[in-house]
Structure 1
Amino acid sequence: MRASDADRDRIAEILRDALAEGRLTPEEHSERIDAAYAAKTVGELEPIVRDLPARRSAPAAEPAAAPLPVAESSTPGHNVVAVFGGATRKGRWRVGPRTNAFACFGGIEIDLTEAVFEQRETVINVVAVFGGVEVKVPENVTLRGSGAGIFGGFEVKTHESEDPDAPVVVLTGAAIFGGVDAKPRRGKRVARLQR
């Protein structure tokens, strides 16, 4: 399976933690980071961190709610496709670690306000060609984006949750003669106060 930027970043984070904990020398860290960012497949990434712990250990603190796991979820990824039509994904549903959305001469709505997040980070890869994709996330979720608008618009209203253990939704992709719009959905009370 081809490795994504998120896969490489996950491996780089494990390597950074190992360097900080003294498990790797700076030279070993440098070699492994180079190998991680040069890897083309997930199979090439696994040997780089095989001898290292998968997660950094959290410092002992007062008991709190367990954070969402960073590892891959058992919930598969989702594909949402709209070609000369529309598609919607909303309501109460389990969000996988990756969702792919493709709109060609059509529109897609992805509403995460009632979704159940089983992992810490969810990546939504969007391609809109002469179409549009709208993504809504709840206020208590961190929203980040890095996409491109080519004769179109790729607008992500970034939002950092106050909770450091909150789920993170990352939007990537491109809008080609189309539009991508992602924003946190504020509650009715907040909307009334703004008016």
Structure 2
Amino acid sequence: MTSELPEMRASDAERERVAESLRDAVAEGRLDMEEFENRLDAAYKARTHGELEPLVRDLPAPGTFQSAVPAPAVKGGWAERIGGTVSSSGAFAFWGGFSRKGPWTVGPRFTAFAMMGGGEIDLREARFADRDVVIRCFAFMGGMGVIVPPDLTVVVKGIGIMGGFGDDATGEGTPGSPRVTVTGFALMGGVGVERKITRAERQRLKEAKKAERKELG
């Protein structure tokens, strides 16, 4: 975005457009995850156009530049990751923990409960039984983390009571993405929702950067 009035107040829609550009950039390998997270945080905190513009100044408009070394096609694109038999519709932890990660299939409604324990719900390699998914998280004197990929549409509506329900993920995904709504509440505990790329993708980005540095001499 460009503006002749950098002091002009930014709108929620303008902040979201910048956030979407940043998500496109990390998905294309233009930003590493640390840069993405720092810029995304700054975008949502920005009050003026002057604060937003530097966050995307060094990024091309989505789809206007094709890298000389194209990223490999994502294994299991959205069309291939929607549908199938539900492998888990809930999780429970009491004085212990639970984990849902890898190539599992989340149902249209997934309910997670943690009391004096913890849990992890990782959707980065998951399939989705339905295009619209609701994940309900209830944490009592415990903690829970929901990890989503950068290109997934996410809405967070949870409530914290003497605890926290963190939202570092609300935003639109890429075309064809499922819509995941994370709701529930945390009582004297915490629930966090954040975007992360997979370890394999992080490694691919590192190798691409090394190759780029090598080419530049």
Shorter chain as normaliser: what TM range? 0.5 to 0.7
* Equivalent residue number for residue 163 of structure 2: 152
Counterpart Cα distance in 2 of 1:73 and 1:103? 27
Residue 171 (structure 2) pairs with residue 166 (structure 1): no
> AA paired with 2:89?
H
**Cα deviation code 1:63-98 (max 9, x no counterpart):** xx96987xx975376110010011111111111101
Q: Does structure 2 retain, via aligned residues, the 8 Å contact 1:73–1:97?
A: no
Contact 2:85 2:105 in 1 (8 A): no
1:125 pairs, out of 136, 139, 142, with 136
Q: Work out the CA distance in 2 between the residues paired with 1:159 and 1:139.
A: 10
Return the offset for 1:156.
1.8
Aligned mates of 1:110, 1:172 — CA distance in 2: 13
Structure 2 SS opposite 1:97:
strand
Change (3 A) 1:162 1:149: closer
Q: Distance in 2 between matches of 1:151 and 1:74?
A: 38
By percentage of residues, which structure has more helix?
2
> Structure 2: which 5+ residue stretches go unaligned?
1-77, 210-217
Report the secondary structure of 1:126's partner residue. strand
Q: TM-score, normalised by structure 1?
A: 0.57
Aligned position for 1:99: 110
The one of 78, 83, 86 aligned to 2:89: 78
Look up the equivalent residue of 1:142 and give its one-letter code. Answer: T
CA RMSD of aligned residues (A): 2.8
Identity of aligned residues (%): 39
1:73/1:156 CA distance change after superposition, 3 Å: farther
Q: CA deviation at 1:161?
A: 3.7
- Per the TM alignment, residue 181 of structure 1 is displaced from its structure 2 partner at its CA by 0.2
1:182–1:66: structure 2 CA closer, same or farther, 3 Å change rule? closer
1:142 matches 2:153: yes
